[in-house]
Structure 1
Amino acid sequence: MARDLPCDPVRNVARDATGRPARLSLLWLQSGGCGGCSMSLLNADSPDLFAALDLGRIDVLAHPSLSEASGEDYHALIARILSGQQPLDILCVEGAILRGPNGTGRFHLQPGTGKPVMQLVAELAACAGHVIAIGSCTAYGGVSAAGDNVTEACGLAFEGAEPGGLLGPGFRSHSGLPAINIAGCPTHPGWIVETLVQLGDGTFSASDLDTYGRPRFYADHLVHHGCTRNEFYEYKASAKEPGQLGCLMEHLGCIGTQVHGDCNMRAWNGEGSCIRGGYPCIGCTEPTFGERDAPYLETPKRGGIPVGLPTDMPKAWFVALASLAKAATPERLRKNALAERIAVPPGQASGKASGKPK
């Protein structure tokens, strides 16, 4: 993107002893989406959103759910940013970029100006120290780009799994980083606040991003890690109907063994996740989210074997291990997998096995 806007020159702002800005400014822009990532963010805890912003030394210039100013005040803020009068350290964009019809962007206009939001995003991105895509729609197009994509929705720097999007694959913010893709639908509030705190602390670098621009502190994990149904998975004791306790991979469409995220290790709102709530992982952090070839509650199979196998596991290994596991399934797990509540509790360990004295 062009870098010759008035906001481009080095900014005269107060700096700390390390040379970094003493406080960072953040602008949150809503594009084509449902607003669910903002709703998720407002539920942040340990720390909560405002504690995290203070910890990261971040001041919010505007946010659609948090700001009192609107109308003329908002437009004046945007004008100050684009003219270089107001520094913009962090630009957060929530929602897909709507380029239709025919690349004009007129499906989504900024209220009060008639300017396409995609043009505004591009101009602000050229000013920003860091650019963050909040949620899978902004990162890759997500649900907004699924199907026929009549709105011509895309991500900031990706279209699905392919580099591109609004800003193009070569985009770099003033920090030298590409767009940071905090993917999820919605994204976990902890992923957002942790990223913001690291940016505020000056400890986030390009090596902290994976191939698809996701922060590695959560994307280097699989949803399978920490799953509360892992014992059922190990023995291939599978649920057949929603509400049953068994593993959801074999019959009910769960792809948590292939999807990147620490959802089951970093519980939502202190205790929840999709799988803990009885729903299979549908891959909302992945660039291909929204383009699945089968219903979400159905596991596609060939010859009785799930098409989507665990990451890095050859099919022959999976078949062999699954056969052995099913042969060794304890009766307790076999019965509990098809139950809605624990039908058979674990047996009591003997005194010797539990380490108790005779």
Structure 2
Amino acid sequence: MAMFANLTRSDPPMSLLWLQAGSCGGCTMSVLENGAQGWPRELKAFGIELLWHPSLSEDTGAEVIEILEAVAEGARPLDFLCIEGSVLRGPNGTGLFNRLAGTGRTMLDWIRRLAPRARYCLAVGTCASYGGIHAAAPDPTEACGLQYEGAEAGGALGGDYRSLSGLPVINVAGCAPHPGWIMETIIALQMGDFDERDLDRLARPKFYAKTLAHHGCDRNEYYEFKASAEKFSDLGCMMEHLGCKATQAAGDCNQRGWNGGGSCTHGGFSCVACTEPAFEDRTGFLDTPKVGGIPVGLPLDMPKAWFVALAALSKSATPDRVRENATSDRVVLDPGRSRNPTE
């Protein structure tokens, strides 16, 4: 957040309202890690008033209803509406699977009332963006995102929705999103340094979606030589056998640390492409579907024919060190060493 160090507070402060729809709460858990002093104080430092958050705020019952009604009626300005979780439209489009306790209204209704009053509307997490885990087949809850249903525009608010700023819903996708993705989007909007040109084709902020999770992965040498891991304790690339989709997933996950360091692949687990629509519909997260021995899902930034040709060439040129280390849980051969340490 050093890039925002000279930002002065808004006068009066901008307001932020956070609601949880069909959610596990993981996006809240993520954003709480933002900043050395914690997210609520980080908001305050940047001149943003947290009107209400279901897990963090002290207001309950009638106090909360008063806040929501004031915003819905236009009596209280709202700058940021942040929705976490899938919008559950079931059964039969009524939204009754997910009511906001004590209000007599469904979350679907509240979202449709509040979103037109917000200067900016943020879908926090892949569930709020595209439907996420709750939208996995057979989906009895009729889950969707705020403005997308999978990769198709629509969702709870419809493809034509625009906030008071003229922007569509901003999809801070990820399961969960990196805390920096959330806070940096909010601050960029506050500074007036963000418009529709800063969104990619799926309405994700380009500052993190313009790269692939694969970029910066500490297993890239193994990927380049197509030296593949065979089990999760191995050091090699997990794309060929273990279901890793980092070459197909938007995100700078391996270029900025989570909780001070690390990522899914750094921790020894495959990237499941959680920033992408319909990632939840895979038949298996821990294996790689293949046709004729070739992975079905290939890198987004490389034509299939090129990948197949380069893979064959790379495997023929794989150094012994890389080949042997790829299927080990530790470095067997150091750089510069041959198989026989006496040579």
Instruction: Decide: shared fold, TM above 0.5.
Output: yes
Find 2:326's aligned residue among 337, 351, 355.
Answer: 337
- Aligned partner of 2:151: which letter? A
Structure 2 CA distance, aligned partners of 1:165 and 1:276?
34
- 1:201 corresponds in structure 2 to 191
How far apart in 1 are the matches of 2:305 and 2:162? 42
Q: Structure 1: any 5+ residue segments left out of the alignment?
A: 1-19, 349-358
Q: How far apart, CA to CA, are the structure 2 residues paired with 1:167 and 1:21? A: 31
Letter in 2 for 1:74: V
Matches within 5 A, 1:1-358: 22-45=12-35, 48-50=38-40, 52-292=42-282, 294-347=283-336
Q: Equivalents in 1 of 2:181, 2:290: separation in Å? A: 33
- Distance in 2 of aligned mates of 1:113 and 1:330: 65
CA positional deviation for 1:48: 4.4
Asked if structure 2 preserves the Cα contact closer than 8 Å seen for 1:55 and 1:197, the reply is no
1:110 Cα deviation after fit: 1.3
Q: Report the Cα distance in structure 1 between the residues aligned to 2:239 and 2:47, rounded to whole angstroms.
A: 43
Given the two structures, how large is their TM-score scaled by the length of structure 2?
Answer: 0.93
User: What CA distance in whole angstroms lies between the structure 2 residues aligned with 1:208 and 1:260?
Assistant: 14
**Structure 1 CA distance, aligned partners of 2:329 and 2:170?**
40
Identity %: 54
- Structure 2: runs of 5+ lacking an equivalent: 1-9, 338-343
Q: Is the 8 A contact 2:40 2:50 kept in 1?
A: no
| Residue 249 to residue 151, structure 1, CA distance change in 2 (3 Å) | same
Conserved 8 A contact 2:35-2:42: no
* Secondary structure in structure 2 of the residue aligned to 1:124: helix
1:73-115: CA deviations, max 9, x gaps? 1011112112222111100000000111001111111111221
For residues 200-222 of structure 1, the C-alpha deviation after alignment (integer angstroms, 9 at most, x for no partner) is: 11111111111111000000010
Determine if contact 1:53/1:197 at 8 Å carries over to the other structure: no
Does structure 1 conserve the Cα–Cα contact (< 8 Å) formed by 2:321 and 2:334?
Answer: yes
2:255 counterpart letter in structure 1: M
Q: Residues 335 and 47 from structure 1, CA distance in 2 versus in 1: closer, same or farther, beyond 3 angstroms?
A: farther
Instruction: Give the Cα separation in 2 of the matches to 1:28 and 1:347.
Output: 54
- Tell me how far apart the structure 2 counterparts of residues 119 and 138 of structure 1 sit (CA, whole Å): 15
Q: Deviations over 1:122-143 (max 9, x none)?
A: 1000111100001000000010
1:306 deviates by 0.7
Calculate the aligned-residue CA RMSD, in Å.
Answer: 1.5
Residue of structure 1 in register with 2:3 after alignment: none
CA contact (8 A) 2:136 2:278 kept: no
Supply the AA of the counterpart residue of 1:308: G
For the residue of structure 2 that corresponds to 1:60, the secondary structure is strand
Cα separation, 1, equivalents of 2:44 and 2:119: 19
- Deviation per residue, 1:153-203 (Å, 9 max, x gap): 110000000000010001100000000000000111110010011111111
| Gap change, CA 1:330 and 1:46, over 3 Å in 2 | farther
**Does the Cα contact within 8 Å between 1:56 and 1:196 map onto a contact in 2?**
no
SS of the equivalent of 1:272 reads coil
Q: Which amino acid aligns with 2:89?
A: R
SS at match of 2:279: coil
How far, CA to CA, are the matches of 1:88 and 1:45 in structure 2? 24
Deviation at 1:46, TM superposition (A): 5.9
